[in-house]
């Protein structure tokens, strides 16, 4: 367990990231590879609604760029968190919690940009902390602001640096940017062309089966975390899961017996063979051991790949295939996805906001939820 008692939140928030290391360049090839990585043309290689992301008859310089392509701009900053002053955490326990995106101009097919990275939020959650990083991306030549990505990471074991009765919390953005509620009405199972767009109860769903090699393709866009590609991780995870099945009940029983025995000894004034602090530390150690046991049976899909799929579904079903209609995107990552599983994106329209929820069909579990803010509504067909 990392000791964060000496963490100074003011020093953390005052940290300055170097702009020199955040120069990026991409070409039409990178745009097309990303689109294929998030499932474009996955059902039909000549789908006219999605072919525009990978091919144009007048040349590759005219293909369209998905707005979620901008999430790639903030990947490198994750590796620099270890240099943030006064913040201690175990990188192996870091989880991607949320992503918020604002698109200010349609992303160019070929471009060079530079990023300005700042810390937008810090929250003490007791046994963990939430760190929020804001990446603003500017065109290198014109200096125009193209996009902003705010990434929220959950740092397990990095909390406890403030008064538990009044935990430290700071955000430099409006709270409503990360608030949403899934409607209770049932989504209609159909595509945009089959619906009355202006119906107040408009909703839709879109299903796509991800290929087993989807994570291997998506990683070519820059996220090379072996969790998404190395089969040895899956094998080790499978063995860990089998061992957990046999040992979990026994470990939990040990914890309960240990604490019950300590409680009885204290109440009846009997001598303790171990100190209360030792018992507490033993219990925490067992819980820590369980928390390090991998919960995945094989390599998993990138969370941002799932987000790209959801954005594609909304553009296809709600925006008549026009990616430039998207103004902002919010996503909350809920659960992992295995390559090869079918994803269903459910959508509801509220004014200019599209609320969405992504489920894994085979497990009937929600894996992603959020909203997309539109510039305007598309005209009905």
Whether 134 and 71 share a structural domain: yes
What is residue 175's predicted lDDT score, i.e. its pLDDT? Answer: 84
Six-digit token string for 276? 């209360």
Evaluate whether 347 touches 356 at the Cβ level (below 8 Å). yes
Residue 114 and residue 70: Cα distance in Å, rounded? Answer: 12
User: 114 and 238, same structural domain?
Assistant: no
Q: Is residue 54 part of a domain?
A: yes
377 three-class SS: coil
- What pLDDT is stored for residue 5 in this prediction? 54
Q: Is 302 exposed, middle or buried (0-12, 13-18, 19+ CB in 10 A)?
A: buried
CB 123, CB 162: distance < 8 Å: no
Specify the pLDDT at position 90: 76
Q: Are residues 79 and 200 in the same domain?
A: no
Residue 290 CA to residue 31 CA, distance in Å, equals 41
The C-alpha atoms of residue 89 and residue 129 are separated, in whole angstroms, by: 9
pLDDT at 6: 57
- The predicted pLDDT at position 94 comes to 81
234: which DSSP letter?
A: H
Domain boundary among 273, 292, 311: 292
- Please state, in angstroms and rounded to a whole number, the distance separating the CA atoms of residues 280 and 287: 11
- For position 207, what pLDDT does the model report? 80
| Residue 18 to residue 116: CA distance in whole angstroms | 8
Tally of domains in the chain: 3
The residues near 87 (Cβ < 8 Å, ≥ 6 apart) are 4, 7, 12, 81, 129, 131, 155, 158
CA dist 204 and 315 (Å) reads: 12
Structural domain of 250: 231-292
Residues 260 and 358 placed together within one structural domain of the fold? no
Q: How many CA atoms lie within 13 A of 207 on its CB side?
A: 12
pLDDT recorded at residue 238: 45
Residue 278 lies in a domain: yes
Q: What pLDDT sits at residue 246?
A: 53
Per-block mean pLDDT, blocks of 10 residues, the chain (381 long): 65 82 88 95 85 94 96 86 79 86 97 93 90 94 96 88 91 88 70 39 67 91 85 56 51 66 67 51 47 64 95 92 96 93 91 93 94 86 42
Residues 274, 306, single domain; the answer is: no
* Domain contains 30: yes
| Cα dihedral value 268, 274, 275, 276, nearest 10 | -70
| Long-range contacts, stretch 215-220, CB < 8 angstroms, 24+ apart | 215/299, 215/300, 215/301, 215/302, 215/305, 215/339, 216/339, 217/33, 217/36, 217/37, 218/34, 218/37, 218/38, 218/301, 218/302, 218/305, 218/308, 219/37, 219/302, 220/33, 220/37
**Residue 226: inside a domain, yes or no?**
no
User: CATH no. for residue 110?
Assistant: 3.10.129.10
Question: Strands 342-350 and 203-209, how do they pair?
Answer: antiparallel
Residues 57 and 1 grouped into a single domain? yes
Strands (E) in the chain, as ranges, are 23-26, 94-103, 111-124, 128-139, 145-156, 169-171, 203-209, 326-333, 342-350, 353-360, 365-374
Q: What tokens does 63 get? A: 């293909």
Q: pTM value?
A: 0.79
Per-residue CA distances from 77 to 23, 84, 116, 331 (Å): 11, 11, 10, 19
Q: Which of 350, 296, 358 is nearest to 331 (CA)?
A: 358
Please tell me the number of Cα atoms within 13 Å of 233 on its side-chain side.
12
Judge if 252 and 284 occupy the same domain. yes
Residue 174 lies in a domain: yes
Question: What beta strand segments (E) does 16-157 contain?
Answer: 23-26, 94-103, 111-124, 128-139, 145-156
40 with 159, same domain: the answer is: yes
The dihedral built from the CA positions of residue 162, 167, 173 and 178, taken in this order, carries a sign that is positive
Question: Quick one: pLDDT at residue 133?
Answer: 94
Q: What is the pLDDT of residue 44?
A: 81
User: 170 with 273, same domain?
Assistant: no
How would you classify the pairing of strands 365-374 and 353-360?
Answer: antiparallel
């Amino acid at each position: 367990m990392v000791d964060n008692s000496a963490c100074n939140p003011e020093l953390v928030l005052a940290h300055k990231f170097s702009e020199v290391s955040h120069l990026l360049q991409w070409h039409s090839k990178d745009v097309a590879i990303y689109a294929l990585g998030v499932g474009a043309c996955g059902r039909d290689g000549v789908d006219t609604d999605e072919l525009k992301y990978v091919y144009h008859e007048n040349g590759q310089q005219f293909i369209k760029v998905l707005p979620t392509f901008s999430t790639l701009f903030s990947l490198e900053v994750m590796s620099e968190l270890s240099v943030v002053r006064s913040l201690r955490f175990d990188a192996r326990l870091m989880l991607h919690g949320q992503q918020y995106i604002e698109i200010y101009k349609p992303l160019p097919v070929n471009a060079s940009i530079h990023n300005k990275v700042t810390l937008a939020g810090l929250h003490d959650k007791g046994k963990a902390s939430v760190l929020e990083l804001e990446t603003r991306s500017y065109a290198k030549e014109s200096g125009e602001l193209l996009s902003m990505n705010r990434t929220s990471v959950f740092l397990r074991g990095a909390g406890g640096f403030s008064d538990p009765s009044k935990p430290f919390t700071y955000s430099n953005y409006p709270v409503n940017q990360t608030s949403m509620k899934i409607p209770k009405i049932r989504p209609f199972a159909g595509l945009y062309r089959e619906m009355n767009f202006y119906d107040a109860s408009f909703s839709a769903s879109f299903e796509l089966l991800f290929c087993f090699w989807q994570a291997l393709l998506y990683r070519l866009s820059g996220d090379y975390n072996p969790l998404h590609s190395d089969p040895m991780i899956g094998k080790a995870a499978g063995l860990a899961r089998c061992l957990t099945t046999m040992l979990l009940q026994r470990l939990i029983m040990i914890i309960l017996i240990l604490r019950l025995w300590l409680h009885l000894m204290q109440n009846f004034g009997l001598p303790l063979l171990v100190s209360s602090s030792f018992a507490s530390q033993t219990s925490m150690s067992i819980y820590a051991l369980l928390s390090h046991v991998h919960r995945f049976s094989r390599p998993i899909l990138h969370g941002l790949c799932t987000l790209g799929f959801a954005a594609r579904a909304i553009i296809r079903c709600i925006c008549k295939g026009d990616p430039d209609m998207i103004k902002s995107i919010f996503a909350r990552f809920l659960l992992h996805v295995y390559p090869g599983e079918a994803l269903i994106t459910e959508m509801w329209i509220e004014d200019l906001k599209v609320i969405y929820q992504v489920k894994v069909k085979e497990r009937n579990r929600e894996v992603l939820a959020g909203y997309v803010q539109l510039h305007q509504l598309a005209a009905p067909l």
